[in-house]
Chain A
Amino acid sequence: MSTVSTVTTTTRPPSGTDGGGRTVDPAKMFNRLCATCMTLFALIWLVPFVWAIATSLRSDGAITEHPTSLFAGGWSLHAYRYAWDNYPIGSWYLNSLVISALSVVFTVVLCSMAAFALVFLRFRGRAAILALVTAGLMLPSEALVLPQFIEYRSLHLLGTYWALVLPYAVAPVSVFVFHAFFRGIPMPLIEAARIDGASWWRVYATVAMPMCRPAAATVAILTFITSWNAFLWPLLVLNQTKAQTIPVGLSSLVSPSNIQYAEVMASSVLGFLPLVAVFLVFQRQIVQGIATTGIR
């Protein structure tokens, strides 16, 4: 603060703020410039989405003839029918949905239980678990796919939903989200429930969990997105085409020699629509969740 005031008084522009009514306010001008720049960049950021959707509605012939004129050749949904009929997009959706839903359920249950115990209960090994989870935040577990693969193969879990649910079900970050939230619950509330004769399980299930719905929502949404978008691990684990998830299944279409532009873009639109829809509905929670888990 002190540096701010000294610096600004010495470098104060001669016109100052007193003439704001007569001339154009420089601060306002600056803000207007910001708004223009930002809007421009935001529109640029939307171009790939728009381009993909526009391409998916055209015909391949018209695309190669007039690549940049979006309306040449007319629009149709033909490419979507082709993509749906030729690739098992339906089963990919189903797999992604089942895997993400299971991951969400397991993550919320396991991580909230552990966080509840860490915050409210005294037991042997509590400090060790806390240290383990903190260390887990720094472990780059994605780097360990090879030994992970060897372990899952020896446990005969390859090709099963479990192989894709278990690694995401115990994210240390999720424990910390619940941990931070439970710490905000007043201890007397928990003790009052105990005096009323509730078991610890009941306190967890009927007192603590209903109160931490925002934390559960954050964890659920972020786990859903991470699990839905996972690529390398599902690529290794799922080798049957029909058993694949949306990202892995669609990756088989990535090839520079694939010139069915409209069909490929229709598949990409089908690939990003569900998640963009989830994002648009929950954008406030998602962004807040990212901010809190990242900044902590």
Chain B
Amino acid sequence: MTTVASTRPASTPSRPAALDHRTPSSERRAGLLLSAPFVLVYLVFVIGPLLIGVVVSLFNTTTVKSGLGEWVGLSNYTKVCADPLFWQAMWHSVLFTLFTTPPLVVLALVFAVLAARIRRGRVFYRIAFFAPYVVPSSVVALIFLWIYTPQVGLAPKFFHAVGLPVPDFIGSTSGGWTAVVLMTLWWTFGFNFVLYTAAIQDVPSDVYEAAAIDGAGPWQQIRFITVPLLGRTTSLVLILQILASLKVFDQIYLLLGGGPDQSTRPVIEYIYDTGFTSYRGGYGAAATLIYFAVIVAISAVWYGLRRWRATRAAA
């Protein structure tokens, strides 16, 4: 059997497909032993917190001392659902997503398309746009806090020079949102830019050559070739951006502390506050799971839509 397999080129049939009784026991043992460390750590430290969250959400556990506390059934969930502060925090996360997703997706697409037309300097663009992404969030917050400083910062000076009213970047709600959105744009833009750039490079160049021979100008090439071929990538960038934006914590916590007056506090900071400032572990766990379910539901819907489209395209 092995000799037959080794004379033919590598193909899917030679891959181990299903377990059958001829599989040597040494292979079974090796498979279990090699995957065991990963599976063990994964179950305990990734799936574990999820299960513990479910259990803890049914008790009035506190985060200061160990032990579960008293069984309270589903009352944590009803309390979370009845708490206007929780829904406000959810809304702030959604608001942040609505503010950041369109510019981060559209600008990344535009810049990647434009950058692809330029032969020289690609490495420079890549470095300039992606370098912020590898900087820790607290360092980004330090730099932007200095840029936003009233009177002496770069941003107020710039707004003043252009003739725009200078917003109170740290002290007001609308200014706070502006500050956080601009900072996020600078920080994470490179990620989407890189995804789009890679997708554009996958478009074979003879498509463009054929279009150029047919007389298509640069704008028509972009409009009728590049953008339509990026449909799948756009759907991916969009969902990754939505999920990342819904998980916002660092920027708002560091720059604004969720303020002024909790008016920008995102849902993760709400969970953080209930769990680690008020020490209400069970309550925080219930809030965590509601939020967790929303995120999983969004990715499941996206995944389902993508599958449905793929099967429809195949049929």
Contacts and interface: CB of A to CB of B under 8 A. Distances in A.
A139 B50 contact: yes
B111 A38 contact: yes
Q: Give the dominant DSSP class at B's interface.
A: helix
Interface string A11-41: 1110011000000001100110011011101
Nearest to A187: B14
Interface string B260-304: 000000001001100110000100110010011001100110010
B35 interface: yes
A287 B243 contact: no
B34 A5 contact: no
Interface stretch (B3-11, B81-89, B97-105): B3-11
Given A118-B35, A170-B46, A27 B249 contact: no
Given A38-B114, A141-B46, A166-B45, A200 B26 contact: yes
B38 A111 contact: yes
Interface string B19-32: 11001001111111
A111 to B, nearest CB: 6
A67 B152 contact: yes
A17 B215 contact: yes
B101 to A, nearest CB: 16
B285 A146 contact: yes
Given A45-B186, A187-B5, A110 B37 contact: yes
Interface residues of A, number: 126
Interface residues of B, number: 123
Interface in A244-290: 246-248, 250-251, 253-256, 261, 264-265, 267-268, 271-272, 275-276, 278-280, 283, 286-288, 290
B38 A110 contact: yes
A294 B195 contact: yes
A167 to B, nearest CB: 6
Given A31-B218, A147-B50, A187-B10, A5 B31 contact: no
Interface stretch (A46-54, A72-80, A211-219): A46-54
Interface in A120-139: 120-126, 129, 132-133, 136, 138-139
B147 A254 contact: no
A251 B138 CA distance: 5
Contacts of A119: 15
Interface string A170-213: 10000100000001011110011011000111001000000000
B139 A150 contact: no
A47 B136 CA distance: 17
A231 B136 contact: yes
B288 to A, nearest CB: 5
Interface of B: 2, 5-7, 9-10, 14-20, 23, 26-32, 34-35, 37-39, 41-42, 45-50, 52-53, 56, 61, 63, 66, 111, 114-115, 117-118, 120-121, 123-132, 134-139, 141-147, 149, 151-154, 157, 170, 186, 189, 191, 194-195, 197-199, 207, 210-212, 214-220, 224-225, 233, 236, 240, 243, 247, 249-250, 254-255, 268, 271-272, 275-276, 281, 284-285, 288, 291-292, 295-296, 299-300, 303
21 contacts: A4-B207, A4-B210, A4-B214, A8-B214, A35-B118, A37-B114, A45-B189, A48-B132, A67-B153, A110-B38, A113-B37, A116-B34, A143-B247, A151-B49, A228-B136, A231-B249, A232-B268, A254-B254, A271-B138, A294-B191, A294-B236
Q: Report the 3 A-B pairs with minimum CB-CB distance, sorted nearest first.
A: A123-B31, A291-B198, A147-B53
